[in-house]
């Protein structure tokens, strides 16, 4: 599914999961607006981020 891999805001390929982020990127993610709505644990487990525009996807990917 290409839509999961591409940012819906800026079309950059390669949305990253928490484990793919660098330490600096993780610090940036902790300051994004959705940090007020979701726990860090939930965000680490299910969210994906675009490191170009900092879009945060809350949709879980369904990979088979």
pLDDT digits (tens, 9 = 90+) for 4-43: 589 999 999 999 999 999 999 999 999 999 999 999 999 9
Residue 47's nearest CA partner among 25, 18, 5, 10 is: 18
Q: With 60 as the cut, is the pLDDT of residue 2 above it? A: no
Higher pLDDT, 61 or 20: 20
pLDDT value for 39? 95
Q: With 60 as the cut, is the pLDDT of residue 63 above it? A: no
Tokens 């994004």 map to which residue?
A: 32
Tokens 């726990």 map to which residue?
A: 39
For the four alpha carbons of 4, 63, 48 and 19, in that order, the dihedral sign comes to negative
């Amino acid at each position: 599914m290409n839509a999961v891999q591409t940012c819906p805001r800026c079309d950059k390929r390669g949305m990253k999961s928490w484990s793919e982020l660098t330490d600096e990127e993780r610090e940036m993610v902790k300051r994004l607006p959705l940090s007020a709505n979701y726990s860090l644990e939930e965000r680490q487990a299910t969210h994906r981020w675009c490191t170009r525009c900092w879009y945060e996807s809350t949709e879980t990917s369904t990979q088979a």
